[in-house]
A and B are shown apart, each in its own frame.
Chain A
């Protein structure tokens, strides 16, 4: 049977590499053609192709199996290996879904926000960023993670700086991000270098087995610290988040929507990969880091960033701080160090990606019509842009975690994880921090619906090409809040891929 479909089975064998090279090859083709319209079309097609590939990959590995692909036919651990399991297939799917939804939106938004001559380069940078993120997730080689991380980061700096057309502050935001991101990447590669020095290998599976006897070694501990801090910068763990609000605020709307939904999620994945796959969970320092760093900073982020979000005058910035707070929930799930906790993190990856992308796109639509996201200037827009405003409210409900939204599902799993451990005080903290989200969402609702418009100029509803992607994600955020079959199964499978069905290790609990 398979023999008759030889080309098809051959295609299936090469799925892991196709996931990365489809957008990678499309990027230079866009430059060569040099027409923005065609560039957008190619980027969109590449994104759809990635979506198909990532779906096929997830279906192959959701039962817990692992696909290994050898680049250039060189066997690991010497050659570079792409390794797909349930955990990264799930993240790959999130990435491709978000990219496929954001791109139709990007077309309209980019035409307005970016100079005509730079639009093809925008799509090229976008595709490279997408390639880098996919590559970070799919590769099974520690150094390759660094390479892809740099591909995605460098293109991200360019994308953020492209916001300078609308607001010159995008340039300093991009520069800040460049400095912080480079420090992060350098720390990460120093950590990898130390690991390589101790073990002589870069393959993640091989690293894990060789690190087992070395868990007390000082160099390995230093490597662990460098890697956690390096990824922490990329991830915007609470005290290391300072690049994020500016970058998200001043980047073009489409870029913010894409990055908010993908970049930090990928960093979370890398953190999980290194904490649970490379360093054995029993590794003394890893459990210490979970207990004394990840968990407390997660909780601080939930509160501090939410409170800061309340006092922002720019809607994009409010949402950016809310992202930092939501990252806190993901860290919390990791900090539980239990299967439920990791499932909560994985499902929060998906849920927050959908919600935040929708919200940032909706704010982008406001910017598209009014030219600003300054909250007092949005007064009374609820009547003039009903669909966009309704989307912001719906997305806000999901951020707060109202039942029937995806935000509720992630918080529910987080609460379950806390109660499993008898951490009732943690459950109270989670609910309390959600209440702060009510405040900043309510502020926006108040301005949009209850205030009279400042001036009499009539603002039209956003174009359909923007509303459709926004509402696709909003509907998804309600659909997956009711039907959790696919997301919870995938999240559980992903959590199993990281720590298996093992019971929580005693050292990590209280």
Chain B
């Protein structure tokens, strides 16, 4: 990425509270107009990283560059960022209009300019009828819209979102997700978005940074992260229902590499190894939707199994089996749901699988 279209650049950033290290020499370059999602479980440091970018936490090492300006020691207001919080953080004693204008009033912006910007933000977010209300008189979705508006009026380069949809119910969350995506298309601003919700991450992001333990595990486009996870953690964290993992061994026996687990022998002729394979303990991962049930023997690999449990999920059904004495799930359409204890054949193409080193967890 050329330096000129880098919007936010985080260089060797580290942060520790006393003996606890939260972020460790973290590097991240965000392109101009890009939508980056920081995804990870609780306590992975994603919100901490966002607070560092916003200037709400002092870093222990490294630097942060926004729009070519080193802002590591700058106050939040001087960084050209706007932030949207999970709890909305609207000022409860002020009307929506006063909430939107607070930052501008602090900065001493002329009155007509303030009015112009509020009108624009209110139009974009369709909150014009709400301007004279107090936050308590708004619904959750409306509050979050106002919170986004507060970042909007300040005309910032970078939007930071800290789990903005987590306090909303499922339906509203889906609606606002689409609205945020539309907003990004309209404004073309750089957006950094923290979430633990993989669906938000998959649907919104240009690139996802999957984090764990203060370290970015993988930074790539959603489809690549989903289909070619770099390690077992990323593979397990993304995808619902979760990826199947089978513990076994990798061996070069009888004309090519095979994965062996109990009585199972999966040929890996179609699998693309990331590096030169070596025999040893290995984890075989495959997503439930990449496995087929009762669809003939045309697959590079197929085997017989018995259905243990059936979980209907509405749009489709999750079928649990035992494969090599380990749990294994298959996703089928609702019409093709088998019964409990029914014998079935399982087939898949190892090309769609992911192999991980048992010890290090990294992709093979």
A and B associate: no
B residues with a Cβ closer than 8 A to A are: none
A residues with a Cβ closer than 8 A to B are: none
